[in-house]
Structure 1
Amino acid sequence: MSLTDRLRRERVIAIIRGTDTKAAERTVHILREEGITLIEVSLTTPDAAGIIARSSREAGDTLIGAGTVLTGDDARAVQQAGAAFVVTPALAEGSLTAHALGLPVVAGALTPTEIVRAVSEGASAVKLFPASVGGPAYLRSLREPLPGVPFVPTGGVDADAAHAYLEAGALAVGVGAPIMGDAPHGGDPDALRERCRAFLTALTRHREGE
């Protein structure tokens, strides 16, 4: 199954951006246990490549990707670590190198010019970032001239916003703090489980309303 198909099925990429390696790795395990199967580990997290490598070995159906991939060296490092996909915050060398290496890329873009360039450079999907700048109304406006672009709005997306973006035509959403809280920094794992369940419940309600 392609990354685009997985995004269409799962509807959410959970984004881990932490300051504590062990806590971030524990967060990956909890997300998997709670049924979130598209997980992005930002390279701003200490030992992100190691977390990706260790988590990928026991991932099963879960796809562990790398986020904040900016350079060609970043892309090569995460490929060697076993990343299943790459996410970038902007159009950068990292997205081009990852694509050349055969990794699916969710490339960051905001303006129509950037979005068209991302698609032309082989992005599997476009990370609309920071989505909060324009909100769901901006996504609707973009989809009028660009109906075939698979958008993944990211930045300030909580459960209510996720529903609004999906209603506006997003393929999926990227979600960080509203699910993670302080878990990747060493926070309460039980609270993380509760947030995961609440978010997945909200997604289920959206699907039932489609």
Structure 2
Amino acid sequence: MNLLDSLRALRLLAIVRGTDPGAALRTVLTLAEEGIEAIEVSLTTPDALTVIEQARAALGPEALVGAGTVRTAADGARAVAAGASYLVTPALVDGLRSTGSPEIPVLMGALTPTEIEGALARGACAVKLFPGSLGGPRYLRALRDPFPEVPFVPVGGVDVAAAREYLDQGATAVGVGSPLVGDAADGGDLDELRARAAEFRRAIAGEAR
């Protein structure tokens, strides 16, 4: 799977993090039904590996279901064994190429120019700019000058308005957690999740609200 090409096409990565594994699985499946195809399940979610395994089984082998909050090579190996099709880290993580599937794509977290270089040196296919809320779209615009070729995916505090602004400033895609998922992964209303998903899809497409 070419994660980078998928992110360029889809422009939105949903981040599912919750307290209820059953609700988290329902959230993943609902997002997929609403046309949000790239979905990351945070390993901080209870029984996250089972959620990933069941989501991949339900959505098929080509599903873009990855593991997030991967902090160690061991985390990565367990996620790959559960069926994660890509890994997302919050920071620089060594050893992810030894997860048992060296070709698995990694979206690696970084914030500063030095960390960005570190992520690229570790084989990241794209850089998760985290926490994006610290610098906002203006910070991304400043980074585009020294790093014009680097695919950036801002994550952290990305609401509907910020999503569109990041994309306008050159982000490859945006990663969105609670502004999209809300409390759905804790057992919240799935109809409200569907409404938020539609709103984000319109924003990503550049349609007026």
- Class of the TM-score when normalised by the shorter of the 2 chains: over 0.9
Structure 1 residue matching 2:39: 3-state secondary structure: strand
Sequence identity percentage: 55
Equivalent pair of 1:86/1:98 in contact (CA under 8 Å): no
Structure 2 Cα separation of the partners of residues 174 and 99 of structure 1: 26
Residue in 2 that maps onto 1:26: 26
Whichever residue aligns with residue 76 of structure 1, its letter is: A
In 1, distance between residues paired with 2:4 and 2:125? 6
User: Hey, what's the Cα distance between the residues in 2 that align with 1:100 and 1:54?
Assistant: 20
Native 8 Å contact 2:17 2:44 kept in 1:
yes
- Aligned residue for 2:13? 13
| TM, length-normalised to structure 2 | 0.95
Say whether 1:200 aligns with 2:204: no
**How far apart are 1:100 and its partner, in Å?**
6.4
Q: CA deviation at 1:174?
A: 0.3
Distance across 2 between alignment mates of 1:137 and 1:99: 38
Q: CA RMSD in A?
A: 1.6
Secondary structure (helix, strand or coil) at the match of 2:26 reads helix
Partner of 2:47: 47
1:200, distance to aligned residue in structure 2 (A)? 0.5
| 1:117-128 mapped onto 2 (5 Å cutoff) | 117-128=118-129
Deviation, structure 1 residue 95: 4.0
2:4 counterpart residue number: 4
Where structure 2 has 5 or more consecutive residues not aligned to the other structure, the ranges are none
Q: Give the aligned length.
A: 207
Deviation at 1:102, TM superposition (A): 2.0
Q: Take 2:70 and 2:129, find their aligned partners in 1: how far apart are those partners?
A: 16
Q: Which amino acid aligns with 2:20?
A: D
* Structure 2 partner of 1:150: 151
Question: 1:35 matched to which residue of 2?
Answer: 35
- Residue 181 (structure 1) aligns with: 182
Amino acid at match of 1:185: D
Q: Is the 8 A contact 1:13 1:175 kept in 2?
A: yes
**3-state DSSP of counterpart to 1:102:** coil
The 8 Å contact of residues 151 and 172 in structure 1, kept in 2 or not, is answered as yes
Match of 2:162 in 1: 161
Tell me, which stretches of 5 or more residues in structure 1 are unaligned? Answer: none
Instruction: Note closer, same or farther for the CA distance 1:164–1:155 as it changes in structure 2 (3 Å cut).
Output: same
Deviation at 1:35, TM superposition (A): 0.3
